[in-house]
Amino acid sequence: MTISPDSVVYFQWGIFSLNATLVFTWVVMAILTLTSWLVTRRISDNPDISRWQNLLEVLVTGIRDQIAQVSHQQPGNYLPFVGTLFLFIAMANLLNVVPGYLAPTGSLSTTTALAICVFIAVPVFGIASKGAGSYLGRYLQPTWFMLPFNIIGEISRTVALAVRLYGNIMSGTVIVGILLSLTPYFFPVVMQLLGLLTGMIQAYIFAVLAMVYIASATSVYEKAEDPDQADTLSSDQ
Amino acid sequence: MDSVSIIGMISVITAGLTIAIGSIGPALAEGRAVAQALSAIAQQPDESATITRTLFVGLAMIESTAIYCFVVTMILIFANPFWDHAIAAAGG
């Protein structure tokens, strides 16, 4: 029983080992890149567009709408990052229907890497939109005493992001593996379908949570520093 | 009983207890969250998109508690560090 695609090693050269996680990550990236390249190569703005361009437009506008609704901001800045996260995780989980494929998201190393991307992106977006002083000041809210707890919160939500995705995908793989040895034929197929549903929901949730974290870093203190609002607040009192 | 059997037995029992107790809380919490969201949608059908999205994110948060228990169970059964140590110490 393999509970992680990390333990499936295809090729070993010295200390470098090429395991299933790496191979299938590259497969997913190749599929995403090739499809996007092939579709956008012959892109047109006629009403008469190809099916693939239609699919891509639906995806991009759908992700833009979701980002705009979650963050209440213009989605343009966040679309590349959040959209890539969603498409990568969704494609990695969707390919589970292919026999012999091991989802790279079922490995803690992949999900940790994705969560670290979010961990870095949050302050980057926050500082880019609010400035370093204003962004770092939020770690001192409500008092300087809360600084260690704010930092712990930042780290623990990154860990939770990684373990959630890993646990969901790994549990699907392990349960299907156990069921295949106990009751083959029909029941594992049902669990596989359930795994597909969970995979898509997890991709959505990972992207939404990343967006929520980024939005909280970029927008919360906009209101507090808004001079008009501060005036109305002080005049109310 | 030798030490490997004891470690194996305790691991399996603990794994069963972990997943059993660990799924009670998230199950109650998810049921409550879904019930509240349904009544909220019933009262305000216009806001169903926002409520559903928030519900999914909240469910994912709750679910991660159960997932932690599952991960601990899997570690106990398939990747138990004490097991490896005992087998190595026994020269197996």
Give tens-digit pLDDT for A53-101: 889 899 999 999 989 988 888 888 889 999 999 999 999 999 988 888 8
Mean pLDDT taken over chain B: 87
**Cα dihedral across residues A200, A217, A62, A56: positive or negative:** negative
Q: Could you tell me which residues are beta bridge partners of residue A11?
A: A18
**Cα dihedral across residues A94, B19, B21, A184: positive or negative:** positive
Q: Which residues of B touch A162 (CB under 8 A)?
A: none
**Do B50 and A171 count as a contact with CB atoms less than 8 A apart?**
no
DSSP assignment of A177-212, as one string?
Answer: HHHHHHS-SSHHHHHHHHHHHHHHHHHHHHHHHHHH
Residue with the larger pLDDT of the pair A175 and B32: B32
Residue with the larger pLDDT of the pair B27 and A76: B27
Rounded Cα distance, A214 and A57, in Å? 24
Residue A229: the pLDDT is: 46
pLDDT classification of B50: cutoffs 50, 70, 90: confident
Rounded Cα distance, A61 and A54, in Å? 11
**Do B74 and A170 count as a contact with CB atoms less than 8 A apart?**
yes
Interface residue A164 vs chain B (CB under 8 A):
yes
Measured from the Cβ of residue B29, the count of other Cβ atoms closer than 10 Å reads 17
Interface residue A212 vs chain B (CB under 8 A):
yes
Residue with the larger pLDDT of the pair A161 and B86: A161
Task: Residue A105: name the closest of A195, A9, A12 by CA.
Answer: A195
Q: Tell me how far CA of residue A204 lies from CA of A12, A54, A175, A210, B74, in angstroms.
A: 35, 21, 22, 10, 25
Give the containing element (helix H, strand E) for A85: helix A79-94
Structural tokens at position A220: 């919360």
Residue A233: the pLDDT is: 43
Task: Residue A19: name the closest of A89, A107, A117 by CA.
Answer: A107
Structural tokens at position A27: 């497969």
Give the containing element (helix H, strand E) for A48: none
- The radius of gyration of chain B's CA atoms, rounded to the nearest angstrom, is 20
**Do B57 and A209 count as a contact with CB atoms less than 8 A apart?**
yes
Kindly tell me if the per-residue pLDDT of A234 is higher than 50: no
Structural tokens at position B35: 């019930």
**Do A163 and B49 count as a contact with CB atoms less than 8 A apart?**
no
**Best residue of A2, A3, A7 to probe chain B, by most B CBs closer than 10 Å:** A3
Residue B18: the pLDDT is: 93
End-to-end distance of chain A based on CA atoms, in angstroms? 66
Summarize the confidence of residues A106-111 as an average pLDDT.
89
Kindly tell me if the per-residue pLDDT of B63 is higher than 90: no
Percent of chain A, pLDDT > 90?
24
Residue B27: the pLDDT is: 94
**Do B67 and A202 count as a contact with CB atoms less than 8 A apart?**
no
Residue A232: the pLDDT is: 43
Per-residue pLDDT reduced to its tens digit, A13-64: 777 888 888 889 999 999 999 999 998 888 788 888 888 888 989 999 999 9
Summarize the confidence of residues A208-234 as an average pLDDT.
64
Task: Residue A77: name the closest of A116, A33, A128 by CA.
Answer: A128
**What global pTM score does this model have?**
0.82
Tell me: ipTM over 0.90: no
Residue B92: the pLDDT is: 55
**Best residue of B48, B52, B65, B71 to probe chain A, by most A CBs closer than 10 Å:** B71
- The residues spanned by each domain of chain B are 3-86
pLDDT classification of A3: cutoffs 50, 70, 90: low
Summarize the confidence of residues B73-88 as an average pLDDT.
80
Superfamily of structural domain B3-86: F1F0 ATP synthase subunit C (1.20.20.10)
Rounded Cα distance, A85 and A165, in Å? 12
Q: Which residues of A touch B53 (CB under 8 A)?
A: 69-70, 208
Residue A14: the pLDDT is: 76
The beta-carbon neighbor of B70 closest among A160, A171, A212 is A171
Summarize the confidence of residues A181-202 as an average pLDDT.
85
Residue with the larger pLDDT of the pair A32 and B91: A32
**Do A208 and B57 count as a contact with CB atoms less than 8 A apart?**
yes
CA A135 vs. chain centroid, Å, equals 23
Residue A103: the pLDDT is: 87
Summarize the confidence of residues B69-82 as an average pLDDT.
84
Residue B75: closest C-alpha in chain A: A3
The beta-carbon neighbor of A168 closest among B56, B57, B67 is B67
